[in-house]
Amino acid sequence: MRNCCAWEWSQSGSTKPGGTDMSGATSKSMKVLFRADSSVDLGAGHVMRCLTLAAALRDKGCAVSFICRDLPGNISANVEAAGYPVFRVPVEVNPAPDTPFALDVPADVARTAEILRQEQGVDWLVIDHYGVDDSWEVPLRPLVGKIMVIDDVANRRHDCDLLLDQNLYENMESRYDGLVPENCMKFLGPRYALLRDEFVQARRSLRERDGSVKRVLITFGGGDASNETAKALEAWRMVGRNDIAVEVVVGGANPHREQLQQLCAELPNVSFHCNVNNMAQMMSEADLAIGAGGSTTWERCFLGLPSITLIVADNQAATTKAVGVQGATLNMGWYEDVNATGLAETIRRVLSDPKALQEMTVRGFALMGDAASTGAALVAQTLCDTSLKGAGISAK
């Protein structure tokens, strides 16, 4: 690691002139730079879905790197371990302490501009950040070829060439009207969900789900600041079904992981896992999931895994409700309104209704569309098509 102006650059993905970097691309490849953050409060979802798209781009020979703030509990080390250079940006004073994603926009623009000038010739700047809008994008546009935005809240204007919202909403087709340029290509809906290739492979060999439950998967994402995992474990203790295996998965940024590991050790037939790299396999082997909304919703639906979902963040609310209405999950609502006793009652009810679980599988498949590919492959192909002949046509 060495100091580079106002940031630190991990040399794990450094490139020698004419050589090949750890992202698998030559120095003459199309350059893609991601701007996303992770932390205990933000969770890991934004960076994780960017990593999925990054892998699809790397498979096509692109040179990929990341800009991430050094927030507490970030997963930048995971990004580096995957072989991508990371520009680590020091954490400035948060202009809105009650809003974890808030940015000092002028300072962040200045640091990003320095990195872009150093990198020279970035073809695509991909942004997955609730603190970024057109006030951040406009001054940086002269320094990049094109801009892509990944969003799911539709609450601010963007100056972008491509927008991806992989979630499900009642007004999905019109919710970005007036928020993006008229010639912006829009990829909307779960069929464009950024799922890793391992999920495609798992879907191809997926067993038939008969509604019986022999294995339960509990996972609430990379952070789980409110410790919903402990609530789910307490509910499972109340259920008392020791004949059913339970797999508990937490992220490395989970501040409660030592407590949770101890809780799992005290419960029969319950296993604890941290930072797994085989989530598709674990979802394929599970018969029921208990977890949060967010990107993992589409992983579960793609594999037909029935689920009980709690909403743990504002950006999960509308989509989780819509998926519940479609019958692809059992939505219990906001986490603070759900206690262990209520969750235990729901689990008992679900375990006794195999037909309802089978129906959830069918509804999940219906939402996700074609099982032959994922949104990551489709979006990566679009980014690699430098002429973007389809620009201005919504991909619906």
Q: State pLDDT tens for residues 280-292.
A: 999 999 999 999 9
Q: State pLDDT tens for residues 248-278.
A: 999 888 999 999 999 999 999 999 999 999 9
- H-type helices in 60-146, by residue range? 76-81, 105-119, 134-140
* CA distances to 128, 130, 163, 314, 363 from 152, in Å: 10, 9, 10, 10, 22
Tokens at 302, concatenated: 């793609």
**Share of residues in the chain with pLDDT > 70 (%):** 87
Q: State pLDDT tens for residues 339-382.
A: 999 999 999 999 999 999 999 999 999 999 766 667 898 899 99
Backbone phi and psi for residue 363, each to the nearest 5 degrees, phi listed first: -65, -35
Backbone phi and psi for residue 87, each to the nearest 5 degrees, phi listed first: -90, 110
Tell me the average pLDDT across 297-311: 97
pLDDT at position 72 is: 87
Q: Which amino acid is at 258?
A: E
Question: In whole angstroms, what is the distance from residue 331 CA to residue 271 CA?
Answer: 25
* CB neighbour list of residue 149: distance below 8 Å, 6 or more residues apart: 126, 127, 128, 132, 137, 158, 160, 162, 163, 164, 180
Question: In whole angstroms, what is the distance from residue 31 CA to residue 283 CA?
Answer: 33
pLDDT at position 315 is: 84
Q: Taking 50 as the threshold, does the pLDDT of residue 185 lie above it? A: yes
Please give the DSSP secondary-structure letter assigned to residue 337. Answer: G
Tell me the average pLDDT across 378-388: 79
pLDDT at position 372 is: 62
pLDDT at position 371 is: 66
pLDDT at position 16 is: 33
pLDDT at position 4 is: 36
Q: 387 pLDDT band (50/70/90 cuts)? A: very low
Query: What is the chain's percent helix, strand, coil content, to nearest 5?
Result: 35, 20, 45
pLDDT at position 239 is: 98
Write down the pTM of the prediction: 0.78
Q: 22 pLDDT band (50/70/90 cuts)? A: very low
Question: In whole angstroms, what is the distance from residue 5 CA to residue 123 CA?
Answer: 22
